Amino acid sequence: MADFSRYTVSIDYDRRLYKQDIAGSMAHAKMLAKQGIISEDDAAQINQGLQTIETEIWEESFPWDPALEDLHMNIESRLHDLIGAAAGRLHTARSRNDQVSVDLRLYTKETIVESVKGLRGVQNALVGLAGRHENVVMPGYTHLQRAQPVLFAHYMLAYFEMFQRDIGRFQDCLQRTDVMPLGSGALAGVAYQIDREFLAAELGFSKISANSMDAVSDRDFVVEFLAATSVSMMHFSRMSEELVLWSSGEFGFIRLSDDFTTGSSIMPQKRNPDFAELARGKTGRVYGDLIGLLTTLKGLPLTYNRDMQEDKEGFFDAADTLTTTLDVFQAMLPGMKLNEERVSGLAGESQMLATDLADYLVGKGMPFREAHGILRELSRHCDNWEIGLQDLPLVEYQKFSGLFENDVYEITAESSAAARNNPGGTAPGRVAAALAEAKKLLEAAGHGF
C-alpha cells in the first residue's frame, strides 16, 4: 500500500513557529513549577533542553523528522532525547490544540508589529516625496481622463491616508489577537490548578481567553490579519498601477531607479517597471489566501478540526508577501524622479481649467448648472477648432456669455489649485498643513507601532 503519511505532515511550514513554540513551552514549564505541578528541577531541565533546541534550529542542526508530523512533536521528541523523563512532564495541563493557538497568536502579534513599522516606513517615503515637490502642480484624473489640477504633494498624501487606515486595521486586529489561550486544553479546559494570568504575563498577552471551546477553534485573528493585509496590498496595487502608467512613455511623469526596472530580452531600450507590476500581480494571490481560509473555516463545527492545519500556509504566504512589498516600496519610492516640467505643463493645459471657468461665471452671478452647460459647449467648440480654452479670443468667449471679461485669462493651474482652500483640499496652504501633520504623526509614532 502506498505511504500517505506525507498528507498529514505540516513540519515543512509550521517549523517557522519554533521560537514561539519554545517560548510558550518555557512559560508553561515555569508556571507548572510555580504551581507545584512539576518540580523546580524538572522545570530547569526542560528550560535548558529547550534552549539547546532553539540553538540547534537556529544553527540548522536540528534533526527534523517528518514521521513526527509537526513542529510540536519534533520538539517534544528531541527534548526527550536531551533530558530524558522530565520531558514527558512538559505537556501536563496542555494540549496541542491550545499550544498551536498560542504559537500562532504570538507569531501574528509579531507580524502585525513589523507590518505597521513597514507601513510607517512607506509613509515616511511618501512624505519625503511630497516635501521635495511640495508646490508642483500636476493633472488629477477621473476615469483616467485629465480632470483638474492638483498638487503632487496632495497626490502623495492621498496614499499616506490609505496606509494610515491600513495601520488602524492592523492595530484593531492586534487587540483581538492579543488573547492568551493556554489552559484551554483540548476543548474543555484542564483539570489542574494552573495560573493562566501568570502565563499571559510571561508571554506578553494583555488578557486570557474567556471560553475554552472558542479559544482552541478561533482563527478569526488570522482572518482579520489576512483581510487587513489584502486591503493594504490593494493599496499597493493601486499605487503600482499609477507607477506603471506614470513611468510609461505616454505619460512620462516619473523615472524609477534602475534598481527597480528591468530590460527586455530582445528590446534593448526597455525599462520595464517589473517590481511595481509584481506588487500588482501578487495582490491577487493574497486575496486568494484570505478566501482560502474563509472557505476552510466556514463549515467547521466546534471545536478543533484537522482542517485548521490549513490555516498556516496562506497566512505565511500573505505575511511574507506584505513584508517584501513593504521593503520594496520603502526602497523604491525615495529613488523615484518626478518630471516636474512634464506634469506642470499638462496641468496647465486649458481644458483642465473648465471647472474653474464655470466657477468664474458662478462668481459673477450665474447659476452653476447654467455655467456648467456653457463650459461644456465652450469645451466642445475648442475641441472642434483644436485650440485651448486659454487660446480662445475674448470675443469668442463673449459669444457664449457676456460675463466673460479680460480677467478670464488670469485663471491658471496654480490659481485652480489655490482656490480649493478648504480642509482636505489641494490648496498649497492646506497641503502644507497636511504635510506638517503627517510629519508630526510619524515623529510621534517613531516610525514604529
441 three-state secondary structure: helix
**Bridge partners for 207 per DSSP:** 179
The CA distance from 155 to 101, in Å, is 42
The C-alpha cell that represents 189 in the structure block: 479546559
**Bridge partners for 150 per DSSP:** 138
Query: Looking only at Cα atoms, what is the longest distance across the chain?
Result: 101
Are the CB atoms for 231 and 223 separated by under 8 Å? no
Are the CB atoms for 88 and 80 separated by under 8 Å? yes
Which residue of the set 77, 143, 257, 401 is catalytic? 143
Q: Of 17, 47, 48, which is closest to residue 30 (Cα–Cα)?
A: 47
**Bridge partners for 57 per DSSP:** none
Q: Is 401 among the catalytic positions?
A: no
Are the CB atoms for 82 and 288 separated by under 8 Å? no
**Bridge partners for 326 per DSSP:** none
The C-alpha cell that represents 111 in the structure block: 507580524
The CA distance from 166 to 341, in Å, is 33
The C-alpha cell that represents 254 in the structure block: 516619473
Q: Is 381 among the catalytic positions?
A: no
Are the CB atoms for 350 and 390 separated by under 8 Å? yes
The CA distance from 419 to 391, in Å, is 22
Which residue of the set 5, 206, 264, 415 is catalytic? 264
Q: Of 191, 208, 192, 20, which is closest to residue 99 (Cα–Cα)?
A: 20
Report the relative pairing of strands 207-208 and 179-180 from DSSP bridges.
parallel
The residues annotated with a catalytic role in the active site are: 143, 264
